[in-house]
Amino acid sequence: MRLLVLLALILVPGWAMGQEEIGNVAEGHAFARDVCAQCHAVERGEAASPDERAAPFIQVASTPGLTPMALFAWLQTSHPNMPALLLDEDEMRDVTAYILSLRTPR
Ligand code: HEC
């Protein structure tokens, strides 16, 4: 885990910036709809994911202690039931910004 954290720090300079500076929320939303929505519920009002093993993003967003860094680390590693998604840095920032934006009440 320490290695992942380090990796995230190296690959994602500026991760510690304010939430709104992480990435572009609207771009991230569009990207999530295109790429992640195949398995995850990506919309704010969507309670159930198409793939029941994939957590709805609203639920991911409300995980206590979730940080942009944790999301970056997740998105850069592979997972048993989720394809390795090879996002470029902008995509990663945008989709992370979008997920974290679900936290704030509208
Ligand atoms: C092909 C299906 C699929 C796609 C596409 C997919 N995911 Fe997943 N995702 C999963 C599954 C299944 C899990 C549950 C963990 C596991 O078993 O690997 C998961 C878990 C996660 C988690 C961890 C959730 C938790 O409970 O902590 C995050 C964050 C995540 N996905 C983000 C994304 C993002 C962002 C995208 C789009 C860029 C995406 N996923 C695209 C299937 C998918």
Select from 57, 82, 85, 102 the residue to mutate for testing ligand 1; criterion: most ligand atoms less than 8 Å from CB: 82
Which CATH number goes with the domain that contains 47?
A: 1.10.760
What pTM did the predictor assign?
0.82
pLDDT tens, 45-97?
998 999 999 999 999 999 988 888 899 888 888 777 777 778 888 999 999 99
In a domain, 7, yes or no: yes
Domain residues for the domain of 60 are 2-12+22-101
Beta bridge partner(s), residue 79: 82
In a domain, 65, yes or no: yes
Of all atoms in ligand 1, which is nearest to the CA of residue 59? 26
Say if residues 47 and 41 touch (Cβ distance below 8 Å). Answer: yes
Of all atoms in ligand 1, which is nearest to the CA of residue 80? 18
In a domain, 106, yes or no: no
| Distance between CA atoms of residues 39 and 53, nearest Å | 8
| Distance between CA atoms of residues 79 and 83, nearest Å | 7
> What residue type is assigned to position 33 of the chain?
R
Tally of structural domains, the chain: 1
In a domain, 17, yes or no: no
| Tokens linked to 26 | 């609207």
